[in-house]
């Protein structure tokens, strides 16, 4: 029987691939993104709805549109929408820091709250939160992003326990490196505010390398989507799912290596050892 699957952040990358994968499987997909025009390529096979996950007004409008479309239940909610505020934490603009947590942490929880009555109407409801392997080992110049994903992982753990009595299963997905526009978006964001006055101007290349790190030998988004669809179609999906390049090796390395050695290796990888007084 076709399921009703609502996915956020479907304009590109993982969200776009997931929308196509679930639609091809025969599910009823509600694909969302901030700009409806960015979903045009999905409109033949998906129902598309404009949604700014950080806006209470937009979330309320989503509920109204679902009712108008006759959607009385949601079987799978995939909280995928996210942004990355890259750069040194000490210089990160306040609005970017707030926006990072508002989009990646607060919004998934508030959307889950808003859709909970519809999830309860499903016979087998799933809430799937797309975290990141970056939320396991923290890396320089991605501190805000890493922290936001770590926070989402913790909230998912809490929701998993709290919603179990109501029959709602909460799943955390920690992708590794997945092909998308993520790196370019992160790099352009840094370009907008990291100037010659920065304490880190001398290692700009290291900062940009971190911004683009997720796109080095990355797993194709379609392959990721196919693998996740397979996992979610099992009778008992795992509570934690890791898919993509580095999704298993990075947490293992972070767990096994001494923390001081990990910091030294990451500092060298992203050029921090080139700053004066850093060795």
Three-state SS for 272? Answer: helix
DSSP 86-125: -S-GGG--HHHHHHHHIIIIIHHHHHHHHHHHHHTTSSS-
Nearest-5° Cα angle at 122, 119 to 128: 50
Two tokens at 198?
């920065």
User: Is 200 one of the annotated active-site residues of the chain?
Assistant: no
Active-site choice (141, 145, 182, 270)? 145
The whole-angstrom separation of Cα 15 and Cα 103 is: 15
Helix-, strand-, coil-residue percentages of the chain, each rounded to 5: 55, 15, 35
Three-state SS for 255? Answer: helix
Catalytic residues: 145
């Amino acid at each position: 029987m076709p399921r009703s699957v609502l996915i956020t952040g479907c304009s590109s990358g993982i969200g776009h691939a997931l929308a196509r994968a679930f639609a091809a499987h025969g599910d009823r997909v509600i694909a969302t993104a901030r700009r409806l025009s960015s979903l045009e390529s999905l409109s033949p096979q998906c129902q598309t709805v404009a949604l700014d996950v950080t806006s209470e007004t937009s979330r309320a409008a989503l509920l109204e549109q679902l009712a108008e479309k006759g959607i009385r239940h949601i079987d799978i909610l995939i909280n995928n929408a996210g942004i990355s505020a890259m750069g040194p934490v000490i210089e990160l603009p306040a609005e970017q820091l707030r926006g990072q947590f508002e989009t990646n942490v607060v919004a998934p929880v508030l959307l889950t709250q808003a859709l909970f009555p519809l999830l309860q109407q499903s016979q087998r409801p799933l809430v799937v939160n797309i975290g990141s392997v970056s939320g396991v080992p923290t890396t320089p110049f991605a501190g805000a992003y890493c922290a936001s994903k770590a926070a989402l992982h913790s909230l998912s753990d809490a929701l998993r326990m709290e919603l179990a009595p109501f029959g709602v299963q909460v799943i955390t997905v920690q992708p590794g490196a997945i092909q998308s526009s993520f790196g370019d978006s992160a790099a352009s964001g840094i370009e907008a505010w990291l100037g010659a006055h920065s304490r880190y101007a001398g290692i700009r290349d290291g900062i940009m390398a971190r911004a683009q790190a997720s796109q080095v030998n990355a797993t194709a988004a379609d392959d990721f989507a196919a693998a996740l669809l397979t996992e979610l179609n099992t009778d008992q999906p795992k509570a934690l799912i890791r898919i993509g390049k580095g999704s298993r090796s990075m947490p293992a390395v972070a767990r096994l290596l001494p923390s001081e050695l990990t910091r030294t290796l990451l500092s060298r990888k992203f050029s921090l050892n080139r700053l004066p007084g850093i060795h």
